[in-house]
Amino acid sequence: MDYAPAGDGAAREQAGPALRDADELCRYGAAQLFLSRAARVQPRLELTDATAAAVLQICRLVEGMPLAIDLAAAWARVLTCPQIAGHVGANLDWLASLCRDVPERHRSVRAVFDQSWARLGAEERRALCRLAVFPGGLDHAAAAALGDLPGAGHEQLLAALVDRSLLRCDGAGRFAMHALVRRYAAGLPPVERVIGEP
């Protein structure tokens, strides 16, 4: 899903060319999703240049993740888009819904990641937390250099995390982690990061 005119990895979260005007925002699928969801709860939402810049920032911060966009847009009923962008950038737990008609596992981005975390083995958990310190991604050599990833087994760990959609491989041997997954792994209590137990 095209979500913003930017590079990859951490650059998506912060940088990228500025929009020439608010109408340009509608070219991006994630922005269209945000605007359609926000219009449901705030029909008087005006697409000004400031609003467009905030919507673009939100889409970059969540890297186009549809659930995160949906949860963020729901706040348009009581907050402006710049306020929403500030909250999204500051706190992963803010991406949550209070609606009781939504299944528990989809009420927050954290709930989705908690489910994925619970399905990982101890080695996969340790690997995920260790890899979260690379905001720009890494290659096989960097992964192998991590002290607590088993030498010959690091490829299997990388493959397992790719298979679980917690890591992406670009086909040229570079791996990257979605910004929200990285924030989740980095925010785990130290005991869970070290021993990998829930």
pLDDT at res. 20? 58
Structural domains of the chain ordered from first start = 10-105 (no CATH), 119-195 (1.10.10.10)
pLDDT at res. 149? 58
Rg of the chain on CA atoms, in Å: 18
Q: 187 near 109, Cβ under 8 Å?
A: no
List per-block mean pLDDT (blocks of 10 residues) for the chain, which spans 198 residues.
39 48 78 94 89 92 93 95 94 86 86 92 88 87 69 76 92 89 86 49
Hey, what amino acid is at 118? Answer: A
**Which positions ≥6 away from 188 have C-beta within 8 Å?**
117, 129
Residue 154, number of CB atoms within 10 A of its CB: 19
Please report, for the chain, how many H helices and E strands are present, in that order.
Answer: 11, 3
pLDDT at res. 55? 94
Separation in Å, CA 51 to CA 21, 48, 57, 79, 121: 11, 5, 10, 12, 42
pLDDT at res. 36? 94
Closest CA to 69 of 55, 82, 80: 55
CA 6/CA 107 separation, integer angstroms: 29
CA 61/CA 88 separation, integer angstroms: 7
Backbone angles phi, psi at 169, to 5 degrees: -115, 130
pLDDT at res. 133? 87
Query: What global pTM score does this model have?
Result: 0.77
